[in-house]
Structure 1
């Protein structure tokens, strides 16, 4: 008898939960995201590895930092983006654009400034 009561209570709870998951008019559907969604939301993810990184030999230029060239994923393949000089920012260090390998592919990290 106790088992029957517990089973009915569990069935009622599961039914209530399932009913709450159904689309309800006037309410937006619930979106479930992976744990690191906010970190990687808006990422460019390529299915294959980028071409090898090429280090360009440039002479120092006072007041500027060299942002190295990189490969951009256009949805079908990689496209080369040339390096460029960008004005220095005081008390900051520039981090070049790069690709990072994750389980779902290669994620692009754009170049950015980091405070010292």
Structure 2
């Protein structure tokens, strides 16, 4: 007796085993320094800075977190900025790309303890 469902599940499992899911970064807390994003090291430099239009502040004291060039689908892709609530005792460090020996590493920022 054949089990096409089992064969399909095993094939899908083998094909998907190399996939990496990276959640969208929306500024978490970090004790200090930049958080390294594992696996985002590329040969292509990021495009020039994007002139992002900052919308009107949605509430008093809101902090604008600027967008950055992320990496998705084998290319740089703009991740838009957003407003966030300030955090007492923290400052925001932006995401950035670092060139190390000709390879580009994405360093995610976040709320850093003062």
> Shorter chain as normaliser: what TM range?
0.5 to 0.7
Kindly indicate whether the alpha-carbon contact (under 8 Å) linking 1:55 and 1:68 is maintained by their aligned counterparts in 2: no
Instruction: For structure 1, list consecutive stretches of 5 or more residues without a partner in the other structure.
Output: 1-38
How does 1:1-116 map onto structure 2 within 5 Å? Answer: 42-56=38-52, 58=54, 62-103=60-101, 105-116=103-114
Q: Give the structure with the larger helix fraction.
A: 1
Instruction: For structure 2, list consecutive stretches of 5 or more residues without a partner in the other structure.
Output: 1-34
Q: Give a deviation string over 1:15-38, Cα, whole Å, max 9, x none.
A: xxxxxxxxxxxxxxxxxxxxxxxx
Which 4+ residue blocks in structure 1 deviate beyond 4 angstroms?
A: none
In our comparison, the structure showing a higher alpha carbon Rg is: 1
Q: How many residues align?
A: 78
For 2:37 and 2:79, the matched residues in 1 are separated by: 23
Kindly indicate whether the alpha-carbon contact (under 8 Å) linking 1:46 and 1:75 is maintained by their aligned counterparts in 2: no
For 1:62 and 1:111, the matched residues in 2 are separated by: 23
TM-score calculated relative to the size of structure 1:
0.56
TM-score calculated relative to the size of structure 2:
0.57
Kindly indicate whether the alpha-carbon contact (under 8 Å) linking 1:65 and 1:94 is maintained by their aligned counterparts in 2: no
RMSD of aligned residue pairs (Cα, Å):
2.4
